[in-house]
Amino acid sequence: MHVTAIIAAGGRGQRLGGAHPKQLLEIGGRAILERSVTAFLLHPDVDAVVVALPADLAAAPPDYLRATSSSGPGQKPLRIVAGGMRRQDSVANAFGAAAPESDVIVIHDAARPFASADLIARTIAAAAESGAALAAVQSRDTVKRVGVGTAETAQARLLVSETLSRETIYLAQTPQAFRRDVLASALAVAGDATDEAALAEQAGHAVRIVDGEAANIKITTADDLPVAEAIASTIDRAVTERDPLRRAVRTGRAGTGYDLHRLVDGRALVLGGVTIPSDRGALGHSDADVVCHAATDAILGAACLGDIGRHFPDTDARWKDASSLDLLRRAVALIAEQGLEVGNVDVTVILERPKIKDHVDGMRAAVAAAIGIDTSRVSIKGKTNEGVDAVGRGEAIAAHAIALVRSRS
């Protein structure tokens, strides 16, 4: 069964206030959107992810989405689409970008960053069996219906007209999941709705309830933020405690990297994403940037994820003449899937000539931007080999790197 997840993040979250879209706000050190997307990217039942963003964000998405939006070896496809005026328009745009082979589409609000893997799995399974399913929690409080809109004064409009049985009242959450044909007919329904389950009901489909989770809150107003911070702290701490690697890197874990290329005529010399004036450049399948290659190996090694050749082999045409800054960004995305981030990187370039000291600041800035850290946490320095061996004779260039990664929680 092929499952595509749609992350609905096309709104601005104006009820929360602030200058930036709500989904970019950080909770527990990670953006709300990043938490929601990662939950589905890492889920074993999900095969692909489509994220609907406001048009301006879709054109220039955050680094943690940009780094994974072109899937590489071991990565799930992630597509970004522009949302619409209404939620259902955003979902329809994302649905149009879903893989045709998708059997089940699961939809999740980006503003719910704490949906558990178990909840996602149960909702997908229920939809596969019944056609449509949504996570929901049963009301714990007595429910009163009031006569809103039937009286002349505000006070009168809030008089109780009926007491409802709380056993029959469920509060809808996401994820909501649908067989592809069911969702297609739901999205064809005219009119507005606050969720896709309501559209499915209007289209005549039965919708099954899956027990939701109290922690699966929707961040809507500023009052939700303290609760969200507390939930994030609890979840992140629990994940760290049951994952030996994350426990080990709470105070940092180091990895080393090394790269060497021959220097030949007719090639550009690219170091740290900066083209250095030179009559010779490094020979390689990609742009042969030894700074980025060594740093990439160090980062992957610190996370125990192998080396650059494993993820971006020179036998794969996709990486022919690739920007090594892009490969570095992809490596950072890979460790982010493990809940890790880069603390700092130190690179030593070994090159007889030309001297690189005038280009170091530009290299540091480019590498820092690719990793997503401050420039102050990237060190690049140049050394010669004092005329010893091929590097010393000017026939090759080499680089050594060390990187520290740590838990994001």
Whether pLDDT at 324 is above 80: yes
Whether pLDDT at 247 is above 60: no
Give the pLDDT mean for 85-101.
91
More confident residue, 212 or 70: 212
- Mean pLDDT, the chain, rounded, equals 88
What whole-number distance in Å separates Cα of residue 120 and Cα of residue 39?
Answer: 9
- At residue 239, the pLDDT reads 67
Identify which of 32, 44, 49, 198 has the alpha carbon closest to the alpha carbon of residue 114: 32
Give the pLDDT mean for 217-228.
90
Give the pLDDT mean for 69-91.
77
Whether pLDDT at 243 is above 80: no
Span 3-139+168-242: which CATH code?
3.90.550.10
Taken in order 277, 279, 280, 286, is the CA torsion positive or negative?
positive
pLDDT tens digit string along 357-398? 999 999 999 999 999 999 999 999 999 998 889 998 989 999
What whole-number distance in Å separates Cα of residue 320 and Cα of residue 312?
Answer: 10
Q: Is the peptide bond before 175 cis (omega within 30 degrees of 0)?
A: yes
Q: Is 1 exposed, middle or buried (0-12, 13-18, 19+ CB in 10 A)?
A: exposed
What whole-number distance in Å separates Cα of residue 255 and Cα of residue 405?
Answer: 8
More confident residue, 59 or 70: 59
Q: Report yes or no: 341 and 406 within 8 Å, Cβ to Cβ.
A: yes
Give the pLDDT mean for 137-155.
75
Residue type at 208 in one-letter notation? R
Q: How sure is the predictor about 134, in pLDDT bands with cuts at 50, 70 and 90?
A: very high
- At residue 71, the pLDDT reads 47
What whole-number distance in Å separates Cα of residue 102 and Cα of residue 341?
Answer: 32
Least confident of 32-36, 84-88, 121-125, 145-149: 145-149
Q: How sure is the predictor about 149, in pLDDT bands with cuts at 50, 70 and 90?
A: low
Residue type at 265 in one-letter notation? D
Residue type at 163 in one-letter notation? T
Whether pLDDT at 349 is above 90: yes
Q: Report yes or no: 95 and 6 within 8 Å, Cβ to Cβ.
A: yes
Give the whole-number percent of the chain exceeding pLDDT 90: 58
Whether pLDDT at 81 is above 50: yes
Whether pLDDT at 30 is above 70: yes
* Domain range summary for the chain, segments of one domain joined by +: 3-139+168-242, 249-407
Q: How sure is the predictor about 72, in pLDDT bands with cuts at 50, 70 and 90?
A: very low
249-407 carries CATH number 1.20.120.80: no
